[in-house]
A and B are shown apart, each in its own frame.
Chain A
Amino acid sequence: MFTRHETLKASYDVVIIGAGGHGLAAAYYLARDHGIRNVAVLERGYIGGGNTGRNTTIIRSNYLTPEGVKFYDESVRLWQDLSEDFDLNLFYSTRGHFTLAHTDSAMRTMRWRAEVNKHFGVDSEVVDAAFVKTAIPLIDIECGGHAPILGALYHAPGAIARHDAVAWGYGRGADRRGVEIHQQTEVTGIRLEGGRVTGVDTTRGSINTSRVLCAVAGYTPRILDMLDLHTPIYIHPLQAMVTEPIKPWLDPIIVSGSLHVYVSQTARGELVMGASLDPYELHQTRSTLDFAEGLSAHMLDLFPFLGEIKVNRQWAGLADMTPDFAPIMGTTPIEGFFLDAGWGTWGFKATPVSGKTMSHTVATGRNHPLIEGFTFDRFSRYQLTGEKGAASVGH
């Protein structure tokens, strides 16, 4: 599926660190839309082996801030015809997305989000408990009596997709246009001269380049340390798990902020589930029993009939969190160094639009208009883009 390159060239027009969805999408659009094909994508592990292959595959645009809604809505638009674009089936499946509200204050946030969403033309509305029950007949609308569902934010375009295939599709598309993908190639240093990027040192040799895009999620602080750049990014693990396959019964995607659950049923019949971040900083993808127990208990509040269903697998990814729950994208104080980071728990859905906007930013040297709310310097200007109210669960 991918060309194997035995050696690195002496120089590239652009070097992208990280062959996950975001890095490969940027490479794809650089080659397809901007004609920049002399590009190397360097990957320490393997294609899509980081958070691209570890998320719960949910795609939605019902965010809270105008910046977020416009950005993620463009992403949902790009997702629609991606399978055709790649000639690769992404199993993109529009399911509808319910964010359940169990309290009056949660209902208030849902109304707020619905109004912002509608203002920007996003299909999003507040529905009552009866509507939820009709859409998901097997849900216990009272949640055992202690957290009854009052209503929900319903977002009809909410979808899921085969996450590995997204990295493969972008990777293959970039590869066919001349981009070189180098796996098992770790970046050990970034060379600067007079405050601008001149090259990258790797475990397989040094290369010259004037433009570097860093898209490495949970490894971002390690790369930024090489350049003495400081950001608010902090790393917590985010765990997820999946059950054995069962008959199809759950069409929509269900999120409950109060119960800290998000769940969807894949085409194979497995329930893919996630919850909150782990409670403290850790640079490790171990699994914990605390997580499996806590998430199972909350799943049973919503769906008591799942008591006999077995959990098949459990895993974790390293989430690069920001204080305002928005990403950090675009130019940095170092000329030629571009950042696509701070994707925390919300990065998968943004894969196409981040590739599109970052390729524009790298090609022109100027931030794309859609990412102006996510700039590197917003913290020193005290201009945050508060997106926490639209996070899937209360972190």
Chain B
Amino acid sequence: MKLLVCPLNGPRPVSEFVYGGEVRPMPDPDACSDREWSDYVFNRSGSPGLKYEWWCHIASGFWFIALRDTVRDVVLETYPADAARGTLPRPGDVAARGTRP
């Protein structure tokens, strides 16, 4: 069974978690154009690589961030979302796509 290390609960079976997609910067909905907003709502970076992702431990309702290799399916690190606050990529920060927030 595959294990994922929850920053709050320690190693747990991956079946106890849900995947919440890649961590991405949200543009200001009041300031951005319709096209920028649709890019944020729909478009994804579908290529393989190292990605920062949202995951949730279902039983405790705890959301956190995991750095995962989407080719080998190996999680390199997990940390609480708080730890990333202030360092998440900002809109227009193109270089941040798929890299460390």
Contact = CB atoms under 8 A, between A and B. Distances in A.
Interface of A: 220-222, 224-225, 230-235, 279-284, 286, 290, 320, 323, 379-382
Interface of A (DSSP majority class): loop
Contact of A320 (B18, B35, B41, B46): B46
A231 B46 contact: yes
Given A380-B38, A380-B39, A382-B38, A284 B46 contact: no
B15 A290 contact: yes
Given A220-B46, A221-B45, A234-B44, A279 B73 contact: no
A61 B94 CA distance: 41
25 contacts: A221-B45, A221-B46, A222-B48, A224-B46, A225-B47, A231-B44, A231-B46, A233-B44, A234-B44, A235-B46, A235-B48, A281-B51, A281-B53, A281-B70, A282-B70, A282-B71, A282-B73, A284-B72, A284-B73, A286-B73, A290-B15, A379-B41, A379-B42, A379-B43, A380-B35
B47 A221 contact: yes
A235 B34 CA distance: 26
Interface in B4-30: 15, 18-19
> B interface, how many residues as a size bin?
20 to 34
Nearest to A279: B19
B36 to A, nearest CB: 10
A41 B71 CA distance: 26
Given A221-B47, A235-B46, 19 more contacts: A220-B46, A222-B47, A225-B47, A230-B39, A231-B44, A232-B44, A234-B46, A235-B48, A281-B19, A281-B53, A282-B70, A282-B71, A286-B73, A323-B42, A379-B42, A379-B43, A380-B38, A380-B42, A382-B38
Nearest to B47: A221
A221 B34 CA distance: 23
Interface of B: 15, 18-19, 34-35, 38-39, 41-48, 51, 53, 70-73
B70 A283 contact: yes
Given A290-B15, A380-B38, A283 B44 contact: no
Nearest to A283: B48
B66 to A, nearest CB: 10
B38 A284 contact: no
A232 B71 contact: no
Contacts of A323: 42
Contacts of A230: 39, 43
A385 to B, nearest CB: 13
Contacts of A225: 47
Nearest to A235: B46
Contacts of B45: 221
Given A221-B46, A230-B43, A379-B43, A279 B18 contact: yes
Contacts of B18: 279
Contacts of A231: 43-44, 46
Contacts of B53: 280-281
Contacts of B42: 232, 323, 379-380
B19 A280 contact: yes
A317 to B, nearest CB: 15
A221 B48 CA distance: 9
Contacts of A320: 46
Contact of A284 (B19, B43, B71): B71
A232 B47 contact: no
B72 to A, nearest CB: 7
A283 to B, nearest CB: 4
A382 B37 CA distance: 10
A242 B73 CA distance: 25
A295 to B, nearest CB: 15
Nearest to A229: B43
B32 to A, nearest CB: 13
Contacts of B19: 279-281
Most B Cβ at <10 Å: residue of A232, A280, A290, A379? A280
